Amino acid sequence: MKFVDVKEVFAEIPDEITLAISISGCPIRCKGCHSQYLWADAGEELTTEVLSTLLERHLGVSCLCFMGGDQDPRGINELAHWVRTHSKVKVAWYSGRDELNEAIALENFDYVKLGPWDESRGPLNTSTTNQVFYRVVNGALENITSRFWKL
């Protein structure tokens, strides 16, 4: 699994300063995708050594979010487990699938976003979105999508 870029973001996970890692090789290929550059198998290999370096370089983040990785959910789960056991940051995953892959162990995550981009339904910050954002609470998914909606 490879990644293309890393950014500190404030809007992807509510109440968190998030290190968002954009993973390439996306198999979903949503119509109207704003990140088509992530469809290609490009970038640097994402390893635990790379994660360690990224976390050292981005002190102060409270969450690490894997943006994509649907081509290798087992790999995402393994990396999430590593982050969970080697750091104090929370762990999130943005998946373009409608359902959580069976390779994902919820105990490795604090947040999970499910759903492909649907241009006609809009992004997470609209009440018409098809995407669902969950907080993991005691091993269960709690829908907190409304936290993104403009009131």
Range of the domain at 77: 2-148
Q: Which residues pair with 6 in a beta bridge?
A: 21
> Rounded distance, CA 29 to CA 32, Å?
9
Domain count along the chain: 1
pTM: predicted TM-score of the whole model, two decimal places: 0.95
Q: How many CA atoms lie within 13 A of 8 on its CB side?
A: 10
Residues 17-45: tens digit of each pLDDT = 999 999 999 998 888 888 888 889 999 99
